[in-house]
Chain A
Amino acid sequence: MSAVLKVRVWRGGARGAYREYEVPRRESQTVLDVVTHIQRALDPTLAYRYACRVGMCGSCAMTVNGAPRWTCRTHVDKVARDGRLAIGPLRNLPVIRDLVADMREFFDKWARAQGQFKGARTRADDFERIAPGSEARRRADAAIECIGCGVCYAACDVVAANPGYLGPAALNRAWTLVNDARDTAQGARLRAVAGDDASLACHTHMSCTERCPKALSPTEGIAGLKRAVARAALQGKL
C-alpha cells in the first residue's frame, strides 16, 4: 500500500474539470473518507453530499473510477487502481457543483411513477392482514430496501439515451406498490409505468442490478411491470 493516494476530483459545474489532490492512505479508508479529507484539510471549497456515513441515507453516491457507487461503504482498497482514484458527480443528472448532482428530476420521476402509497383505510379500521409468505409480499420485500441513492439511475444507459425514461429506482418503487394488496391506485400506477418512457423502454442491460449497493434487482421488478402492463393492455384496462 503506497502512503499517498493520487485523487482526481471533479470541480465546477457541467463544464468543470478534474483537479488532482494527494491524500494520505489509511487502513480501512472509504472513498467518502478521501473526499472528506480533501474538503477538511486541502480545499474547503469542495462541495459534496453525505449524511449517515453507514449506508442508510443514500446521499453520498458519486462516480468512482467510472462507476457509480455509494462512497461511504466503498473501500479504497476495492476501487483504487495503482493508488489512483477519479471521483466525479453521478452521471445522468445535472451537476450543481463539484460532486453534488441535482436529484430533483430523479425524485420527481418517483412521483410520476405513482410511487406514493394510496390506501383506503383509516386509523379507525383494523390492520390489513398480509401473509408474510404470500407471493406478492415476497416480491415487494425483495425490492423494498431501496435507499434512493441514485446509483442505478446513473448506471442506466436507457436514461442516458432517453432522458424522459423514469429509470430503475422509480420503477422499482412502483413495483413494490403494485404488489401491495392495500394500495388503491393500481390503475393509475399501471398507466404511469406503461409506455415508451417507462417500463417498456428498459433494455434489460441490468446495469442497475449490477450496481445497486443494496443488491436489489430493479431489472426483475421492471420485468414484472412489463408483464403487468401488457396484461392490462390486452384486457383493455390500461
Chain B
Amino acid sequence: MSRRAETLLWVAQRASAAVLGICVLVHLATIIYAVQGGLSGAEILARTRGNSAWSAFYTVFVLAVAVHAPIGLRAVLAEWLGWRGRARDFLLVSFAVLLAGMGMQAVSGVIG
C-alpha cells in the first residue's frame, strides 16, 4: 500500500472517530432519556419506524463504525501479530463490508 493510501486511511480513522464521538453521546443520551419511565420494544418501534431523522443518524453511525473499526484492527494485527500485507487488508475490507451490512440490517429493522 502506498504511503498516501496509508495516510488517507489514518485520516479516515480520525474523521470517523470524531463522528463516532458525537454519535455515541447522542445514542447514550437518547437511551437514558427514553427508558426513564420504562419502555417496551413495541413503544420504541412505534417511535422509530418511518422516522427519517433517526434513519439518517444511525446510518451515519453504522458507516462510521464500518470505517473506524477495521482501520484500528489493521494496526492491532500489525503490532500484536506482526500480520501485514494484502491478505490482511483484504480480510479487513471484508470485515468492513460485514459491519456495514449487519449494521444497516439492524437500522432497517428498527426504522424500517
Q: Is the CB of B11 within 8 A of A233?
A: yes
Q: Does A196 contact B (CB under 8 A)?
A: yes
Interface size on B, residues (CB 8 A): 14
Interface size on A, residues (CB 8 A): 17
Least CB distance from A116 to B in Å reads 19
Find the B residue at minimum CB distance from A226: B10
Residues of A within 8 A of B7 (CB): 194-195, 200, 229-230, 232-233, 238
Q: Does A201 contact B (CB under 8 A)?
A: yes
**Which of A196, A232, A236 touches B6 (beta carbons < 8 Å)?**
A196
Q: Is the CB of B78 within 8 A of A194?
A: no
**Which of B4, B14, B79, B84 touches A238 (beta carbons < 8 Å)?**
B4
Q: Report the separation of the CA atoms of residues A166 and B46 in the bound assembly, to the nearest whole angstrom.
A: 55
Q: Is the CB of A195 within 8 A of B3?
A: yes
Least CB distance from A77 to B in Å reads 37
Q: Is the CB of A194 within 8 A of B11?
A: no
Q: Does A1 contact B (CB under 8 A)?
A: no
Q: Does B75 contact A (CB under 8 A)?
A: yes
Q: Is the CB of A161 within 8 A of B80?
A: yes
Least CB distance from A171 to B in Å reads 14
Least CB distance from A194 to B in Å reads 4
Residues of B within 8 A of A233 (CB): 4, 7-8, 11
Q: Mark A196-225, 1 if CB is under 8 A from B, else 0.
A: 100011000000000000000000000000
Q: Is the CB of A194 within 8 A of B79?
A: no
Residues of A within 8 A of B78 (CB): 162, 196
Q: Mark A179-206, 1 if CB is under 8 A from B, else 0.
A: 0000000000001001110001100000
Q: Mark B1-29, 1 if CB is under 8 A from A, else 0.
A: 10110111011001000000000000000
Residues of A within 8 A of B75 (CB): 196, 201
Q: Does A41 contact B (CB under 8 A)?
A: no
Least CB distance from A123 to B in Å reads 35
Least CB distance from B55 to A in Å reads 30
Assess A238 versus B3: contact at CB under 8 Å? Given A162-B78, A201-B75.
yes
Assess A230 versus B11: contact at CB under 8 Å? Given A162-B78, A162-B79, A196-B78.
yes
Q: Report the separation of the CA atoms of residues A135 and B91 in the bound assembly, to the nearest whole angstrom.
A: 44
Q: Mark B72-104, 1 if CB is under 8 A from A, else 0.
A: 000100111000100000000000000000000
A-B contact pairs, 11 of them (CB 8 A): A161-B79, A161-B80, A195-B6, A195-B7, A196-B75, A196-B78, A200-B6, A230-B7, A230-B11, A233-B8, A234-B11
Residues of B in contact with A (beta carbons under 8 Å apart) = 1, 3-4, 6-8, 10-11, 14, 75, 78-80, 84
10 A-B pairs with least C-beta separation: A233-B7, A161-B79, A195-B3, A238-B4, A194-B3, A195-B6, A200-B10, A194-B7, A230-B11, A233-B4
